[in-house]
Amino acid sequence: MRLTKLFGKTLREVPAEAETVSHQLLLKSGMIHQVAAGVYSYLPLAWRVLRKIERIIREEMDAAGGQELSMPVLQPFEIWEESGRDLAFGKGLFTLLDRRERKLVLAPTHEELITDLARRNVQSYRDLPRMLYQIQTKFRDEPRPRGGLVRVREFTMKDLYSFDVDEVALDISYQRMLQAYKNVYARCGLDTVVVEADSGAIGGKDSHEFMVIAESGEDEIIYCNGCGWSANVEKATFAKTSLECEQLLSLEEVATPGAKTIEEVARFLGVPKERTLKAVFYSVDGELVFVTIRGDIEVNEVKLKNALKCSDLRLANDEEGQEAGLVAGSASAAGLSGIKVVADDSITLGQNFVVGANKADVHLKNANYPRDFKVDLMIDIAQAVAGYQCIKCGGDLLSTRGIEVGHVFKLGTAFSEKQGALYLDRDGNQKPLVMGCYGIGIGRLLAAAIEQNHDEKGIIWPVPIAPYHVYLCALGGEEGEIVSAAEALYAELKERKFEVLFDDRTESAGVKFNDADLLGMPARIVVSRRTLKSNSAEVKLRSEKDAELVKLGEVANRLAILLQ
């Protein structure tokens, strides 16, 4: 491809709206164009990258036993009601009405449709196992699209679904997919880590994410250097410390004028934060829920949402708390009635806590569960942070940030039972299909590749997914000898099956070098008056600082070695 013919222009300045490195570089290099918030056009260079990623994915999915198909984006709303996920996705679900006033969904994912296909085509154990996948457009009404291609409202995803006879067979399919995913990322030139994850609105049992470590990542990863355990912060657990055992003391009211936060109350009464119980009010699908947790620990709202199986969870405002008779800054479950109480199990790891007295500026000392208050649901809803102890080995936990580039789930029978996707086993008994779900965001993977492979000058593409292998640059393009040598080299490299972007513009060396670094092709070749004095071209890898002179007749062979 000649640069004079390429559709898309590079920019000299970083666009003001771009926050992440990948967003900045994708816009600056002329690879994407924003159409609306979270909606982008892919220009030719980016589209070539996406096609290469898709080819790698297809090859690995096929090798693992997958069969490709295509399912529609437009789906009847009724099938989402059948699974119950019309509520689980909530406002993230794009819906519309057709001319006959029938409600339709722009699919954010395809579990319902693939389950419907399976129930119509799988009759017995002889039809299993099956792995079916597609690469298809998805739509999710993200409340805050950000980071360019990292969080968008329209995106392309590879989703594969496995169907098995039981959990043992599912585990085989799951492990096969884990390996296939590792192959995909290795072939794309990306370093990834596998972490335990939350299943979110997809549902299911075991769940893992593949993360590209990046400072700009929207996900926090909690990990242990000691044993290697890691998890998304939404899922991460930790070893909660038990406080020194004490004899249970009698409840005692104490005045705490002006002390409302845990820090203020602990300081006023001269007790550590872990000797207090925190009260947090939430609106859960419109109902007020009271949450209590030890004062030194924060609530993990994803865990809480999963525990309550709700579609909408947010902090309650002051008016909602007042209407329920709750006293902000002095509330507790002690003496509370008529409100659902959810507690983290940390409240059982100590005695004689300080809690609110449900009176303004008054607290209670020596509150103990279950003597002094009851809870409706006791479960782990604690947020893991760096410095806590690993639940596996007791080592100190650390934290880093990453970008999710793949997510795999053991769905089990969650969808097949609701939708009646059954098969006959060897004994003639009907059983629900056991399912797995495996997704890769194609555009997000492109963005993550840039986040992991760049410098202050621009992108550094991994060879397997680079738009072109080579940036061929002719300096002094108006001079006949230089033009002839560059054209001959361009023709030879194409003949040798190298993908070449030929900068044939009449621009200065500075402009051409800046664009070469910005666009980030793995190798740069320069033909100039200086190099031709020795019948050579300058060859340089984008990832290296120094260039080398290579005889024109040996450039192709040298490139083959450098790009291997």
Burial class (CB in 10 A: 0-12, 13-18, 19+), 424: middle
Which spans in 162-229 are helix H?
A: 167-187
Domain that holds residue 414: 21-71+109-217+400-451
CATH number at residue 344: 3.90.960.10
- Give the pLDDT of residue 309: 86
Give the residue carrying structure tokens 């989402």: 80
280 and 132 in a common domain: no
Residue listed under structure tokens 């008016």: 319
* Token pair 């793949």: residue: 406
CA–CA dist 553, 410 (Å, integer):
55
| Better pLDDT: 203 or 78 | 78
Separation of alpha carbons 532 and 480, rounded Å: 12
Average pLDDT over residues 195-218: 77
Domain-embedded: residue 95 = no
Name beta bridge partners: 376.
Answer: none
Give the pLDDT score at 478. 67
Confidence at residue 466, expressed as pLDDT on a 0 to 100 scale:
98
**Does 463 fall in a domain?**
no
Per-residue pLDDT, 519: 97
Supply angle C-alpha 274, 277, 279, rounded to 5: 140
Residues 373 and 412 in one domain: no
pLDDT of residue 200: 60
> In 245-361, at which residue ranges do the beta strands (DSSP E only) sit?
252-255, 277-284, 287-294, 313-315, 340-344, 353-359
Q: What is the pLDDT of residue 314?
A: 93
Task: Please indicate, yes or no, whether residues 183 and 51 belong to a single structural domain of this protein.
Answer: yes
- Strand pairing class (434-441; 397-412): antiparallel
Q: In this structure, what CATH number is given to the domain that contains residue 523? A: 3.40.50.800
**CATH number of the domain to which 431 belongs:** 3.30.930.10
272, 164: one domain: no
**Mean pLDDT score, 492-500:** 95
Say whether pLDDT at 38 is over 70: yes
Average pLDDT over residues 457-479: 91
Is residue 166 domain-shared with residue 36, that is, in the same domain? yes
In a domain, 384, yes or no: no
CB 451 within 8 A of CB 504: no
**Number of domains present in the structure of the chain:** 3
Residue 88 has pLDDT above 70, yes or no: yes
Classify residue 225: in a domain, yes or no.
Answer: no
**Strand, coil or helix: what is 350?**
coil
Say yes or no to pLDDT of 137 above 70.
yes
Which bin fits 484, alpha (ψ -120 to 50), beta or left (φ > 0)?
A: alpha
Say yes or no: 370 and 272 in one domain: yes
Instruction: Please classify residue 253 by burial: count the beta carbons closer than 10 Å to its beta carbon, then call 0-12 exposed, 13-18 middle and 19+ buried.
Output: exposed
Same domain membership, residue 432 and residue 477: no
Task: Give the whole-angstrom CA distance, residue 17 versus residue 38.
Answer: 12
The H or E element spanning position 556 is helix 555-562
What is residue 376's predicted lDDT score, i.e. its pLDDT?
Answer: 95
Going by C-beta distance under 8 Å and a sequence separation of 6 or more, which residues neighbour residue 154? 38, 39, 40, 137, 138, 139
4, pLDDT greater than 80: yes
Which structure tokens are listed for 299?
A: 């609530």
Q: What is the mean pLDDT of residues 390-419?
A: 93
Closest-CA residue to 375 (of 355, 359, 389, 404):
355
Residue 234 forms part of a structural domain = no
d(CA 204, CA 60): 24
pTM, entire model: 0.85
Q: Which residues, in sequence order, are bridge partners of residue 195?
A: 209
Q: What is the pLDDT of residue 310?
A: 87
Q: Is the model more confident about 206 or about 369? A: 369
Strand partners, 502: 2, 472
Q: What is the pLDDT of residues 516-558, one digit of tens each?
A: 999 999 999 999 999 999 999 999 999 999 999 999 999 999 9
Answer whether residue 85 is part of any domain: no
What's 87-117 look like in SS3? Answer: HHHHHHCEEEECCCCCEEEECCCCHHHHHHH
125 and 46, same structural domain?
A: yes
Query: Sheet harboring 252-255: ordered strands across?
Result: 252-255, 362-367, 353-359
Distance CA 181, CA 168 (A): 20
- Give the end-to-end CA distance of the chain in Å, rounded to a whole number: 22
Q: What is the mean pLDDT of residues 189-196?
A: 91
Q: What does the alpha-carbon distance between residue 201 and residue 305 come to, in Å, rounded to a whole number?
A: 10
Per DSSP, what are the bridge partners of residue 501? 471
417 and 503 both lie in a single domain: no
CA dihedral 322, 325, 329, 331 (to 10 degrees): -150
For residue 330, name the pLDDT band (cuts at 50, 70, 90).
Answer: very high
The secondary element (H helix, E strand) that includes residue 512 is helix 509-519
Average pLDDT of the chain to the nearest whole number: 93
**Mean pLDDT of the region 487-513:** 94
- Cβ count near 237 (within 10 Å): 18
Q: What is the pLDDT of residue 555?
A: 94
Report the candidate in 301, 272, 308 with the shortest Cα–Cα distance to residue 383.
Answer: 301
**pLDDT confidence tier of residue 477, bands split at 50, 70 and 90:** low
Same domain, 283 and 336: yes
Mean pLDDT across 333-355: 94
- Show the beta-strand stretches assigned E in 460-552: 470-474, 500-503, 523-527, 536-541, 548-551
Q: Does one domain contain both 444 and 492?
A: no
**From CA 89, how far away is CA 312, in angstroms rounded?**
9
Spell out where 385-433 has E strands.
397-412, 422-424, 430-432
Cβ count near 273 (within 10 Å):
16
DSSP SS3 for 133 = strand
* Spatial distance between the Cα atoms of 506 and 485, rounded to a whole number of angstroms: 16
The model's confidence at residue 247, banded by pLDDT at 50, 70 and 90, is very high
Kindly state whether residues 272 and 339 are assigned to the same domain: yes
